[in-house]
């Protein structure tokens, strides 16, 4: 487990990150797709944190394990949802090796952490975790974001994405990737089909900061069996 990243997230959650934030609208999309399937569907939420989006999914009846690198975030989640019947796992996603595959995987603003090589590993890992016919719910940074804090561009990808290294702000010293829609299409593995068009969502920053955040959201389904 990356201690630097874990320490950074632990500090964020101790300082109240997401404490007053409600769930994002994409949560409703996830609920709609999962509740339209069999009641026994079992999912994994990658980067569940302190539960901003995870808790409303569980309260909607989803059978959903939560995984996060931050023990502080998971402890805060447990305090808010003490009767949660699902597993909470303190683990780095890339080193997590469950005994069984999942019916669906949720990743909200997680697969942007790291450079291009790490991003590719994230997507490949999802392919191994999903059952045939499984659903993949993704939300990540768009390259059209107005980046506020001082940074350096570490790399650019041929299909329009880029990785930056922050030199200031809460993510100082960390690599963060910003995707193009074409890049997402190239990373979502062969045999997957889109169930929802990739949508770009823009959000205004708080008044003391300039510009907008942009995020891509999409839903995919893994092929029922190998061709």
Whether pLDDT at 11 is above 70: yes
Query: What tens digit of pLDDT does each residue of 39-58 get?
Result: 889 999 999 999 999 999 99
Give 5 or 226, the one with higher predicted confidence.
5
pLDDT in the model for residue 196: 87
Whether pLDDT at 186 is above 60: yes
Give 71 or 19, the one with higher predicted confidence.
71
Whether pLDDT at 85 is above 70: yes
Confidence label for 16 from pLDDT (cuts 50, 70 and 90): confident
CB atoms within 10 A of CB 86: 19
Strand 42-46 vs strand 102-108: parallel, antiparallel, or unpaired? parallel
Q: Which CATH code fits 3-143+178-221?
A: 3.40.50.150
| DSSP secondary structure letters along 1-58 | --HHHHHHHHHHHHTTTTTT----THHHHHHHHHHTS-TT-EEEEET-TTSTTHHHHH
Look at residues 107, 197, 208 and name the one whose alpha carbon lies nearest to residue 148: 208
Segment 73-91 mean pLDDT: 96
Look at residues 196, 200, 184, 98 and name the one whose alpha carbon lies nearest to residue 145: 200
Segment 184-188 mean pLDDT: 89
Helices (H), 130-202: 181-187
pLDDT in the model for residue 126: 96
pLDDT in the model for residue 88: 97
Q: Is the Cβ–Cβ distance between 92 and 133 less than 8 Å?
A: no
Whether pLDDT at 121 is above 80: yes
Whether pLDDT at 75 is above 70: yes
CA 214 – CA 227 distance, rounded (Å): 36
pLDDT in the model for residue 1: 60
pLDDT in the model for residue 206: 76
Q: Is the Cβ–Cβ distance between 167 and 56 less than 8 Å?
A: no
Query: What tens digit of pLDDT does each residue of 60-70 get?
Result: 999 999 999 99
- Averaged pLDDT of the chain: 93
Segment 10-34 mean pLDDT: 92
CA 162 – CA 128 distance, rounded (Å): 25
CB atoms within 10 A of CB 25: 9
pLDDT in the model for residue 137: 98
Task: For the chain, give every domain's residue range.
Answer: 3-143+178-221
What letter would DSSP give residue 61? T
Whether pLDDT at 3 is above 80: no
Q: Which of 22-31, 94-103, 186-195 has the lowest mean pLDDT?
A: 186-195
Whether pLDDT at 226 is above 60: no
């Amino acid at each position: 487990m990356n201690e630097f990243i874990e320490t950074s997230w632990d500090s964020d959650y101790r300082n109240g990150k997401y404490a007053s934030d409600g769930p994002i609208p994409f949560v409703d999309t996830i609920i709609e797709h999962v509740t339209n399937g069999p009641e026994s569907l079992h999912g994994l939420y990658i980067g569940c944190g302190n539960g901003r989006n995870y808790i409303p999914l569980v309260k909607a009846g989803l059978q959903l394990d939560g995984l996060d690198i931050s023990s502080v975030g998971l402890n805060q989640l447990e305090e808010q949802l003490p009767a949660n019947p699902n597993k909470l796992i303190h683990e780095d996603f890339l080193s997590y090796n469950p005994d069984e595959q999942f019916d669906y995987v949720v990743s909200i603003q997680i697969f942007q952490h790291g450079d291009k090589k790490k991003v590719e590993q994230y997507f490949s890992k999802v392919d191994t975790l999903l059952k045939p016919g499984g659903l993949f719910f993704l939300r990540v940074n768009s390259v059209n974001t107005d980046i506020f804090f001082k940074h350096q561009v570490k790399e650019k990808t041929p299909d329009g994405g880029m990785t930056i290294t922050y030199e200031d702000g809460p993510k100082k010293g960390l690599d963060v990737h910003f995707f193009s829609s074409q890049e997402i299409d190239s990373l979502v593995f062969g045999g997957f089909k889109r169930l929802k068009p990739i949508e770009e969502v823009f959000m205004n920053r708080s008044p003391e900061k300039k510009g907008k955040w942009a995020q891509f959201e999409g839903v995919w389904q893994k092929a029922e069996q190998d061709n």
